[in-house]
Structure 1
Amino acid sequence: MEVMKSAGDCIKIILREMSVKDSESFYRLYFEDESAIQDQTTNEEDMNPVQFTEHILSLCEELYSIRTVENEQIIIGDCALHHWNQEEKKIEIGGFLLPKYWGKGIMSAAFELLIALAKEKYQVNVLVAKTEITNLKALKFAEKLGFQKMSNDGDIIILEKRVL
């Protein structure tokens, strides 16, 4: 599925399958604004935009850019399905959204589309979300979507949602 569009009352969004042609915009999403930089456990900040995009694509089963219908040229976030465990029918879901777009229902809409895709394409039983224990907004968001805390792995909380 190359492009998915949201429905409902929130800001209308488009999820577009990520590709190397989006590498400049995708890279800027993470590295243009110091406040947007995520924990770097690999040397992603030392990669050029194409290398960074290829690296992230290699880690994901599905990776989509998030855009608004009003301005679909600008990437405002991303969302992904990754770490597919076919035997347990589990897959991780995650995403990032620029702070100026928080609280508008955008990530909820993106996750609804991804969850539908995970059920249809991967026949998942369980979605897994992980976040830092200090990221209270992400925890609240995950719980609002029906995820439940399952365990901790150091400073990371692991949450799961059954989607049968």
Structure 2
Amino acid sequence: MFTISSRYDSSESPTSERLHHCIGYFNAYGYAAHNTTADIFIHLGEYIYEYVGNGTGVGRVTTVREMATIADYRRRLNQYRTDESLVCAHQHAPWVTDDREVADNSWKAGTANSNDTAAGCSFSPSGACFTDGKLAAVRAYHEWMPIRVVAADDLFRIW
């Protein structure tokens, strides 16, 4: 089996805007909302980032530690929704996301930044138990994203 290759010009357009959407300025989302007739947006990848300091470059107040509590996740989602381009995209069409945002490279029992253990609670650099942080993140996600809860007793189920 082989893949056919193609050409792509990635040179910068003189009118292009620089953006780093993980910390703010969701220009691409606003552009898509204003320049498409799409019925849905499919979002693949991270919707929020839990890191300390995200947003300071664009004048947003940030947490002093990595997000771990429901208040942390609510605050970050609220911050993101102050961006006009992101709000415009959410008003334009429903979003289909590939996962719920919890932490960087998270898996069932930990994250890329936690000291994962086979049994018991793994702890993140903030000192929070990953299991507690994961539940907080998913609860806040359901509060901010118009997504159907599939099973009331299992907030982690998305299918």
The two structures have a TM-score, normalised by structure 2, of 0.32
More strand by share: 1
The two structures have a TM-score, normalised by structure 1, of 0.31
The structure with higher relative contact order (CA 8 Å, sep 6+) is: 2
